[in-house]
Amino acid sequence: MNAIDYLRISLIDRCNFRCQYCMPEGAALDYLLKSALLQDDELLLLLREVFTPLGFTRFRLTGGEPLLRPNLAELIAHIAALPQTQDISLTTNGFLLAEQAADLYAAGLRRINISLDSLDADTFDSLAGTKGRSRWQQVWNGIQTAYEIGFDPLKLNVVVIPGVNDSELMDLAALSIERAWHVRFIEFMPIGNDDLFSDRGWIPSEDIRQQVRDRWGLDEGFVLGNGPADVFKIPGAKGTLGFISQMSECFCDRCNRMRLSADGWLRPCLLNETGQIDLKTALRQGREPAELRQQVQQLLQLKPEINYKERDAGTTGRYAKTMSQIGG
Ligand code: SAM
Ligand code: SF4
């Protein structure tokens, strides 16, 4: 059985982008009120007294867009200072990264994943829902800044959408050759925008690997991380290529993570809510950390039986929450 030692923490459900595959423009999203978010002191108390005593040592901060969270660098410094913390990382759309990267690094963050779905500014803006406000250059500046500051590994996340960005996947893969940039191709999942998924479908990772083999060849690779990516590299490249294949392959038996949503729900799986616990409400009702620890321990024991292929679609018959709400 895998040790469950990795917690993905959503810091905020809001975002300054409207990615078509995640929270498209016009989608009815009920944002959380500020007071409904798990506050910094609540999160730190949970980490200190509930999660680290149970063996959680690795934390990823995500959202929504985590760079919109006030006092982010300070929060990171506190998490990095916990004696048990072995690894802290962050996933961002990169738009605010150029201005925040130095503070985040100084706070102790070293690993960063930045979403970059296209090298073409128009395609990028169309996918990110930022047409007319051209965000590509600013994101690119964020990536360059993070690289120059020394973030390592620096990963670039690409959600592959047939007919939208699939013609430029080899250009994106080529970003891993000259610099130690780790490009990860993510299979599009039917969560966030069912209509787009029905229209476009998804491309299996193996098809992309074959394109890479045909062009450059493909070696086994390695990059530090906690994720379910299969890692390869273009022969001689400085960076790697990762493939996250949740549609074509079930990696539940390798899963080592739990997720804490921005409003403090602990869930055992992205797509399955079995046994989830409302930790924020419990804390605010004055429940003791020891009691919460026991509840989380029970969920940990249940986790190996939870499988995202047996998706719990919630009461709506579809996925009750989007990636931005759960923390992708
Ligand atoms: N806003 C940040 C970002 O975009 O990197 C962090 C949150 S975002 C929800 C985290 C990851 O989820 C991103 O890499 C995004 O591309 C991915 N994602 C969102 N919706 C997805 C979907 N329907 N299928 C596959 N990946 C998705
Ligand atoms: Fe925002 Fe990230 Fe979702 Fe795009 S994928 S809408 S950047 S949370």
User: Can you give the residue ranges of every domain in the chain?
Assistant: 6-326
Q: List the residue whose alpha carbon is closest to atom 8 of ligand 2.
A: 64
Q: What is the pLDDT of residue 30?
A: 82
Query: pLDDT over 90 for what percent of the chain?
Result: 77
* pLDDT tens track for 147-163: 999 999 999 999 999 99
User: How far is residue 8 from each of residues 47, 62, 260, measured CA to CA in Å?
Assistant: 12, 7, 6
Q: What is the pLDDT of residue 319?
A: 47
* pLDDT tens track for 88-142: 999 999 999 999 999 999 999 999 999 999 999 999 999 999 988 899 999 999 9
Q: What is the pLDDT of residue 98?
A: 98
Ligand 2 mean position to 187 CA, how many Å?
Answer: 15
d(CA 259, CA 265): 8
Q: Give the DSSP per-residue string, 243-290.
A: EE-TTTS--GGG--EEEE-TTSEEESBTTB-TT-EEHHHHHHTT--HH
pLDDT of 316 higher than 60:
no
Residue 272: CB atoms within 10 Å: 21
Q: For residue 269, what is the DSSP state?
A: B
Distance from chain centroid for Cα 245: 14
Ligand nearest to the CA of 13: 2
**Mean per-residue pLDDT over the chain, rounded:** 92
* pLDDT tens track for 229-287: 899 999 999 999 999 998 998 778 888 899 999 999 999 888 777 889 999 999 999 99
pLDDT of 200 higher than 80:
yes
**For ligand 1, mutation pick of 14, 159, 195 (most atoms within 8 Å of CB):** 159
d(CA 182, CA 166): 18
| Residues whose beta carbon lies within 6 Å of some atom of ligand 2 | 15, 17-19, 22-23, 63-65, 93, 115, 323-324
With cut-offs at 50, 70 and 90, classify the pLDDT of residue 226.
low
Residue 230: CB atoms within 10 Å: 18
* 172, 123 Cβ separation under 8 angstroms: no
Token code pair at residue 313 = 């679609």
Ligand 1 mean position to 195 CA, how many Å?
Answer: 17
pLDDT of 327 higher than 70:
no
* pLDDT tens track for 20-52: 999 998 877 788 999 999 999 999 999 999 999
What is the H or E stretch that residue 12 is in? Answer: none
Q: Closest Cα to residue 183, out of 163, 201, 200, 165?
A: 165
Ligand 1 mean position to 156 CA, how many Å?
Answer: 11
Q: List the residue whose alpha carbon is closest to atom 17 of ligand 1.
A: 328
* 219, 192 Cβ separation under 8 angstroms: no
**Ligand 2, atom nearest to 18 Cα:** 6
d(CA 171, CA 306): 37
Token code pair at residue 268 = 């055992």
pLDDT of 299 higher than 60:
yes
> What is the pTM (predicted TM-score) of this model?
0.94
Q: What is the pLDDT of residue 18?
A: 94
With cut-offs at 50, 70 and 90, classify the pLDDT of residue 317.
very low
**Ligand 2, atom nearest to 16 Cα:** 1
pLDDT of 296 higher than 70:
yes
Task: List the CATH code of the domain at 6-326.
Answer: 3.20.20.70
Beta strands 87-92 and 111-115: pairing type?
Answer: parallel
